[in-house]
Amino acid sequence: MYQFSGKLKMLAIGLMVIGLIGTAISFMNTPKTLQDAKDILAKQEASHHGSHGGGHGEATNDHHANTEHKSDTHKSDHKEVKSNDVAHTNDHKKEVKADSLSHKEEAANHAEDTRLTDSLNGHVAEKAHVDPSSHAGNDHDTAHHGDDHEEHAKHAFHQMQNKPWSAIYVSLIFFLGISLLVMAFYAAQRVAHAGWSVVLFRVMEAITANLHYVSAIMLVFIIVTAMHMNHLFPWMADGVFDPLSENYDPIIDGKKWFMNLPGWVMRSVFYLLVWNGFRFYIRKKSIEQDNGDLDLHKKIYNVSVVFILLFMITESMMSWDWIMGIDPHWFSTLFGWYVLATLLVSALTVICLVTLYLRSKGHLPFVNDSHIHDLAKFMFGFSVFWTYLWFAQFMLIWYADMPEETTYFALRFKEYVVPFIGMIALNFIFPILLLINSDFKTVPWVIVIAGVFILVGHYVDLFVMIMPGTVGAQWGFGIGEISAFLFFLGLFIFATFNAFAKANPVVKGNPFLHESEIHHYYIIEHRGEDNAHH
């Protein structure tokens, strides 16, 4: 039996304590009043003018100036020409559209425009600035100008208030998703009667123990969100569904049958119940099966089939409810798959890293280089799969360039261009180059490097999915984000190794155990293994 070492336990608890303290600090540093937020904005604006000089004087009355400096829209003449062009086509489209619409629809359209402007933090308005000759832009702009400054400060204030919440939320979804996908992968191995992975079953089970812990935190988060203690989901705001309110949003109102608070809470709780229930039951039966009972084996098989079915449904809906709901005006059909891919490749990487750690400490005597090779192949393959879905989603929207879809990526290119493009290198290029070689797929340090790239990359991926809708241009990677990550990392270490110490590291009663112990991928050489099975 594995012994959860005191050192590791201290590390886990230490990480959690540091994480909690940091999170508390980040909550305290959040501006409390509108005035605080205005001061911060003024500071940001001052530094903007300091660094860019008087190159574009018009920026002084561009109240969204602070949103500009991260993405350098004025980098070169060439780029300006391009954005001019874009503004032209967009305005033109808008005019044509408006002509053909009835008055009523026009009003609704205008409402949408205003909100898009808002959610893009002045994206549309900024385009109008670039091209002063366009009617549509000017009308729109003047209509806005009066209360623009106050509106913007308020908007930025809400975003700043969202920051510590979003920091927790990104890490929460990241670790919840990884634990869940390890569970799904484990169930898939059971259902497929996989012969190679049986010696890794207890590692996977141990990782899924974390599902219970993060689900509890998620439950609290759901309750807190439903009590309006944070404003991560714009559709939960007051008056969104009320035609008499100035917050009224006809588009969200049209989605009311799905996007309503009771429905959201019930669905969320249902997902958590399903996942945790199946995880608890399968783990329990798996430990019982150490006695070699084949009826239990069949039972776990049947339960796993049902789990995978429910998992596929709940995972898709979870990604709509918990992630896509942050941008309630935007929708994408393959979003559920895309989230699945991001979490699945992270889950496989985590399985591989935990396995490598436990093997290096001598707790997994039957895990040989072929098992590691297989895990690395999965990491490689699903990195490509993630890239495929990421690109499919991006390219389809980029190509058709329909305004209601493109705003999603326009915002990401404008404010998040470094993480958004950088994650392609982390999630695709580096893992591909590191893991394409068959020999490298058994070398621990190569896999660890590739694994760190993959995990950081997919954290960034979730970051870029969630942050633009909640904090917009006010994002940063500071104490709040790091602390939340450290807290959940500590929790993960604690949950995983605690659970691994509670059961035999080998699933003794499994009928495929022997096959797994002698597993050998014939092309590779096993290095430094002295167990009798080879």
Residues that bind another protein (CB under 8 A): 78, 81-82, 85, 89, 391, 394-395, 398-399, 401, 436, 438, 522
Tell the smallest beta-carbon distance from residue 95 to another protein (Å): 15
Q: Which is nearer to another protein, 27 or 398 (CB)?
A: 398
Tell the smallest beta-carbon distance from residue 122 to another protein (Å): 23
Tell the smallest beta-carbon distance from residue 334 to another protein (Å): 16
Residue 290 to residue 528: CA distance in whole angstroms: 29
Q: Which is nearer to another protein, 438 or 531 (CB)?
A: 438
Q: Which is nearer to another protein, 92 or 145 (CB)?
A: 92
Tell the smallest beta-carbon distance from residue 400 to another protein (Å): 10
User: What are the tokens at 387?
Assistant: 């890239």
**Left, alpha or beta for 353 (phi > 0: left; psi -120 to 50: alpha)?**
alpha
3-state SS string over 505-527?
Answer: CCCCCCCCHHHHHCCCCCCCCCC
User: What are the tokens at 439?
Assistant: 């020999």
Please check whether residue 331 is in contact with residue 407, taking contact to mean a CB–CB distance below 8 angstroms: no
Tell the smallest beta-carbon distance from residue 402 to another protein (Å): 12
Tell the smallest beta-carbon distance from residue 81 to another protein (Å): 8
Residue 478 to residue 338: CA distance in whole angstroms: 27
Residues 491, 456, 471, 401, CA torsion sign: negative
Q: Which is nearer to another protein, 298 or 527 (CB)?
A: 527
Amino acid at position 286, single letter: S
Q: Which is nearer to another protein, 89 or 302 (CB)?
A: 89
In order of 45, 208, 295, 303, the CA distances from 277 in angstroms are 51, 12, 20, 11
* CB hemisphere CA count around 426 (13 angstroms): 20
DSSP of 153-179, one letter per residue? HHHHHHHHHHHHHHHHHHHHHHHHHHH
| Phi, psi torsion values for 475, nearest 5 degrees | -75, 160
Tell the smallest beta-carbon distance from residue 474 to another protein (Å): 29
Within 323-439, residue ranges assigned H as helices are 335-360, 369-400, 403-415, 417-424, 430-435
- Residue 288: name the closest of 515, 512, 510, 516 by CA: 510
Contacts of 293 (CB under 8 A, 6+ apart): 509
Tell the smallest beta-carbon distance from residue 409 to another protein (Å): 11
Residue 116 to residue 189: CA distance in whole angstroms: 45
Q: How many CB atoms sit inside 10 A of residue 407's CB?
A: 20
Q: How many CB atoms sit inside 10 A of residue 388's CB?
A: 15
**Matching residue, tokens 């110490």:** 501
Tell the smallest beta-carbon distance from residue 78 to another protein (Å): 7
Tell the smallest beta-carbon distance from residue 40 to another protein (Å): 35
Residues 314, 316, 321, 322, CA torsion sign: positive
Q: Which is nearer to another protein, 3 or 89 (CB)?
A: 89
Q: Which is nearer to another protein, 85 or 139 (CB)?
A: 85
Residue 156 to residue 220: CA distance in whole angstroms: 26
Q: Which is nearer to another protein, 90 or 268 (CB)?
A: 90
Tell the smallest beta-carbon distance from residue 522 to another protein (Å): 5
Residue 44 to residue 63: CA distance in whole angstroms: 12
Q: Which is nearer to another protein, 42 or 81 (CB)?
A: 81
Tell the smallest beta-carbon distance from residue 432 to another protein (Å): 11
Tell the smallest beta-carbon distance from residue 397 to another protein (Å): 10
Contacts of 29 (CB under 8 A, 6+ apart): 479
Q: Which is nearer to another protein, 76 or 333 (CB)?
A: 76
Q: Which is nearer to another protein, 86 or 237 (CB)?
A: 86
Q: Which is nearer to another protein, 26 or 90 (CB)?
A: 90
Q: Which is nearer to another protein, 87 or 181 (CB)?
A: 87
Amino acid at position 219, single letter: L
User: What are the tokens at 365?
Assistant: 């005597």
Q: Which is nearer to another protein, 106 or 401 (CB)?
A: 401
Tell the smallest beta-carbon distance from residue 467 to another protein (Å): 23
Q: How far is CA 34 from the centre of its chain?
A: 29
Residue 54 to residue 37: CA distance in whole angstroms: 25
